[in-house]
Amino acid sequence: MFKPLDPLLHSELRLAVMSLLISVDEAEFPYIKQQTGATAGNLSVQLDKLATAGYIAIEKTFKGKKPCTLCRITPVGLKAFEDYVAALRTYLNVKPDTTQ
Amino acid sequence: MFKPLDPLLHSELRLAVMSLLISVDEAEFPYIKQQTGATAGNLSVQLDKLATAGYIAIEKTFKGKKPCTLCRITPVGLKAFEDYVAALRTYLNVKPDTTQ
DNA sequence: ATAAACAAGTTTATTTTATAAACCAAATAA
DNA sequence: TTATTTGGTTTATAAAATAAACTTGTTTAT
């Protein structure tokens, strides 16, 4: 009847991060922070969780002299996101999306 | 960009309950328990929260000699569910459903 | 008739999670 | 040179989910 929802993705902020990374393919910490409206602390924690699960890859580089945290989604993360959406549909009484 | 998600509905069990009540219009506690796979304790707590918010109405009756807890969704609950789904779509990169 | 098992929940306690506040280091601006 | 800002991390707190234990009453077995 209802498929279980991946608890790692069933979180407003982590879902927003994943959604963002799917569309942009690579994003810096401050950009994600601005787009999601999250506090830096919360974002840091949630990014860590996604990275620990292998859903995103975090690369710490420098932009000139300033540190720069780059995030991108992984194939594992993309798959998890798609599975999550499919599971979610069992709760929404909605047919699968066929546009495109 | 991302619409906030009603925290009361962004919960696996409460969402399942609401989804169920939308399709059946009236359901007894044991039926909801069976359909969702929830424990009685957890279900009791989550039903209370939904009722307190006015999303569902709980009627305590008897079925012969046995107590019977009947649940139905309210107009407020239906509206909240629809709003939740609309908000969720902003995270899923999916066009609104136009089937039917 | 009495005890054991069961049904239908509720209450309470525990664990997990989310979130914010406090903190830190380096760079830039005054 | 001493604030101030940028780019975060760590730690503490609040909220939530969940399960375990309990209650009340009923049915079934002895």
Domain boundaries, chain B: 12-89
pTM over 0.85: yes
Please give chain B's pLDDT, 100 residues, in tens.
Answer: 899 999 999 999 999 999 999 999 899 999 999 999 999 999 999 999 999 999 999 999 998 988 999 999 999 999 999 999 999 999 997 654 555 4
Strand D bases contacted by the protein (CB, 7 Å): 6-11, 16-21, 25-27
Q: What is the pLDDT of residues A55-99, one digit of tens each?
A: 999 999 999 989 999 999 999 999 999 999 999 999 997 654 555
pLDDT recorded at residue A78: 97
pLDDT recorded at residue B93: 74
CB nearest A95 (choices: B22, B23, B97): B97
Tell me which chain B residue has its CA closest to the CA of residue A1. Answer: B35
Q: How far is the CA of A72 from the C1' of C24 (A)?
A: 26
User: May I ask the CATH architecture of the domain B12-89?
Assistant: Orthogonal Bundle (1.10)
pLDDT recorded at residue A93: 74
- Dist. CA B90–CA A15, nearest whole Å: 10
**Residues of A with CB below 8 A from B15's CB?**
91
Q: Is A19 on the interface with B (CB under 8 A)?
A: yes
Q: How far is the CA of B68 from the C1' of C1 (A)?
A: 29
pLDDT recorded at residue A98: 53
- Dist. CA A10–CA B95, nearest whole Å: 20
* Nearby residues of B13 by Cβ (< 8 Å), 6 or more positions away: B36, B38, B42, B43, B46
The answer to whether residue A11 scores a pLDDT higher than 70 is: yes
Q: Is B35 on the interface with A (CB under 8 A)?
A: yes
Q: Mean pLDDT, chain A, as a whole number?
A: 92
- As given in the structure block, the two tokens for residue B23 are 């399709």
pLDDT recorded at residue A25: 80
**Residues of B with CB below 8 A from A97's CB?**
94-95, 97
User: Cα–chain-centroid distance for residue B96?
Assistant: 21
pLDDT recorded at residue B94: 60
Does residue B48 approach strand D to less than 7 Å at its CB? Answer: no
The single-letter code of the amino acid at A2 is F
Q: To 10 degrees, the CA torsion angle through B1, B4, B5, B6?
A: -150
Name the β-bridge partners of B62. Answer: B67
- As given in the structure block, the two tokens for residue B43 are 């279900």
pLDDT recorded at residue A35: 96
- Dist. CA A10–CA B46, nearest whole Å: 17
Q: Is B46 on the interface with A (CB under 8 A)?
A: no
Q: Do A2 and B10 touch (CB under 8 A)?
A: no
